[in-house]
């Protein structure tokens, strides 16, 4: 029998897919579950919930089931790049799911090589971006492997899939209640479907898990000091932390103030506009701080060029083009800019907002004696007159010719 490695979440669809791939495509399935810091799992160990997911895959008929703790790898190899790039798709979405798909695919390919599998599979539908991210990544790093997309192919709805599984005695997880489609990792949480599909309807409070409702948040401002070295956050309130733990800590503290809720209409790669709800308290807080510190530390022409590339970069990631030459080239540009991005940013958290209350840097370009209006002013005012004359000269020449209006 041919072997296939399936990205397994433990949910209904991928549980049914194990048997479906055997029946319809003659595959024996190796299930691969990736721990990216989804919440609801056993604290820190990556143990409890992930082990339950692993056993469920075997119960559903997988010949082998592996769990990969990829939390640090996700933080260091993927989220770190997003921080350096201030990456927000459409200026709003911190790319929670988009960042994870290339990593998941990389592990599917690794496990395929180790187990002699000739194919990998994902549980995406045909309407989303995630299928594109899985498959384009596979094309980039393992073009010899076949990619299967059972859910896109089988044409069953949720009830159909449950019935199909029950006929065969497959113990699929049927969680009643949640009408939402959720994806989650340490960089944030996404929610779609149900009432959220009405862009006019307010998202019900039950959609949220990582951010408190404003009525429940503290009535006092909380401050949090983030220390950056070479463009990456390295400490919270003076305490050094690995990136993976630092993100979790900031996420928890900002989430308690209701920071990081995003409600947006999103342009999907497949041409659809969809209503998306995100919760990214840590991401929003860290990106706000990082961007501010760059304003202090980057020379202005470089900063302007970087801002222009950031939107393009976020779009590449969103569109599944992580392992591509352009992405690599922009990474190189960004890497050149980051060594001077050092210092502390004091973030204030209150009632859903995270804002910069103060910043300082030994490599900063703020020069008090140039900026001040006080007596210590060292700015040469006499040079300004000539500067403005020449700066405005083309405009003046044009206006003389055209007449002023």
Exposure string of 380-394, with b = 16+ CB inside 10 Å and e = fewer, is: eeeeeeeeeeeeeee
User: Which residues are paired to 265 by β-bridges?
Assistant: 275
Q: How far apart are CA 56 and CA 45, in angstroms?
A: 19
DSSP 38: -
Per the structure block, which two tokens stand in for 13? 């669809």
Q: What SS3 class is residue 204?
A: coil
| Angle, CA 51 vertex, CA 46 and CA 52 arms, to 5° | 125
Nearest-approach distance from CB 43 to ligand ARG, in angstroms = 24
- Residue 183 vs 292, nearer CB to ligand ARG: 183
- Residue 93 vs 228, nearer CB to ligand ARG: 93
Per the structure block, which two tokens stand in for 184? 């989650």
The binding site for ligand ARG (CB under 6 A) comprises 97-98, 129-130, 181, 183, 190, 192, 266, 276
User: Which residues are paired to 2 by β-bridges?
Assistant: 27
- Residue 266 vs 292, nearer CB to ligand ARG: 266
- Residue 11 vs 47, nearer CB to ligand ARG: 11
Nearest-approach distance from CB 223 to ligand ARG, in angstroms = 32
- Residue 292 vs 310, nearer CB to ligand ARG: 310
190 close to 183: Cβ distance less than 8 angstroms: yes
- Residue 189 vs 306, nearer CB to ligand ARG: 189
Nearest-approach distance from CB 88 to ligand ARG, in angstroms = 12
- Residue 276 vs 310, nearer CB to ligand ARG: 276
Nearest-approach distance from CB 7 to ligand ARG, in angstroms = 11
Q: Measured between alpha carbons, how far is residue 302 from residues 106, 113, 299, 340, 393 in Å? A: 33, 42, 6, 12, 26
192 close to 180: Cβ distance less than 8 angstroms: yes
Nearest-approach distance from CB 13 to ligand ARG, in angstroms = 10
Nearest-approach distance from CB 229 to ligand ARG, in angstroms = 29
Q: What SS3 class is residue 299?
A: coil
Q: Measured between alpha carbons, how far is residue 352 from residues 89, 184, 358 in Å? A: 20, 20, 19
Nearest-approach distance from CB 216 to ligand ARG, in angstroms = 26
282 close to 256: Cβ distance less than 8 angstroms: no
292 close to 359: Cβ distance less than 8 angstroms: yes
235 close to 241: Cβ distance less than 8 angstroms: yes
290: left (phi over 0), alpha (psi -120 to 50) or beta: alpha
225 close to 344: Cβ distance less than 8 angstroms: yes
Which residues are annotated as catalytic? 13, 101, 130, 181
């Amino acid at each position: 029998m041919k072997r296939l490695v399936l990205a397994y979440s433990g949910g209904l669809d991928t549980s049914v897919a194990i048997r479906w791939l055997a029946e319809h495509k003659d595959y024996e399935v190796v299930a691969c579950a990736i721990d990216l810091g989804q919440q609801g799992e056993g604290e820190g160990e990556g143990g409890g919930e992930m082990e339950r997911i692993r056993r469920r895959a075997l119960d559903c008929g997988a010949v082998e089931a592996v769990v990969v703790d990829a939390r640090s790898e996700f933080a260091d190899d993927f989220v770190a790049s997003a921080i350096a790039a201030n990456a927000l798709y459409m200026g709003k979405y911190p790319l929670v799911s988009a960042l994870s798909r290339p990593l998941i695919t990389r592990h599917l390919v690794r496990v395929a090589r180790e187990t002699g599998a000739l194919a990998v599979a994902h549980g995406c539908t045909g309407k989303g971006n995630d299928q594109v991210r899985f498959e384009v990544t596979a094309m980039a790093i393992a073009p010899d492997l076949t990619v299967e997309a059972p859910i896109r192919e089988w044409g069953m709805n949720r009830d159909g899939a449950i019935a199909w599984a029950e006929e065969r005695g497959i113990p699929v997880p049927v969680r009643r209640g949640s009408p939402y489609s959720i994806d989650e990792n340490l960089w944030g949480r996404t929610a779609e479907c149900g009432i959220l599909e009405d862009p006019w309807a307010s998202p019900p409070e039950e959609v949220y898990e990582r951010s408190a409702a404003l009525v429940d948040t503290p009535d006092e401002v909380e401050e949090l000091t983030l220390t950056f070295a070479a463009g990456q956050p390295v400490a919270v309130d003076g305490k050094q932390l690995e990136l993976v733990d630092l993100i979790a800590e900031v996420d928890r503290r900002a989430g308690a103030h209701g920071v990081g809720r995003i409600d947006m209409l999103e342009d999907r790669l497949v041409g659809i506009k969809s209503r998306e709800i995100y919760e990214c308290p840590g991401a929003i807080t860290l990106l706000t701080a990082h961007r501010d510190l760059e304003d202090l530390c980057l020379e202005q022409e470089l900063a302007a060029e970087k801002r222009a590339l950031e939107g393009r970069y976020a779009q590449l990631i969103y569109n599944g083009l992580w392992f591509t030459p352009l992405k690599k080239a922009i990474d190189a540009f960004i890497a050149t800019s980051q060594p001077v991005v050092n210092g502390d940013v004091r973030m204030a958290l209150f009632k859903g907002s995270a804002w910069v209350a103060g910043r300082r840097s030994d490599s900063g370009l703020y020069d008090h004696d140039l900026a001040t209006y006080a007596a210590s002013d060292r700015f040469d005012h006499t040079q300004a007159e000539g500067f403005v004359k020449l700066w405005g000269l083309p405009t003046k020449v044009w206006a003389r010719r055209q007449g002023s209006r």
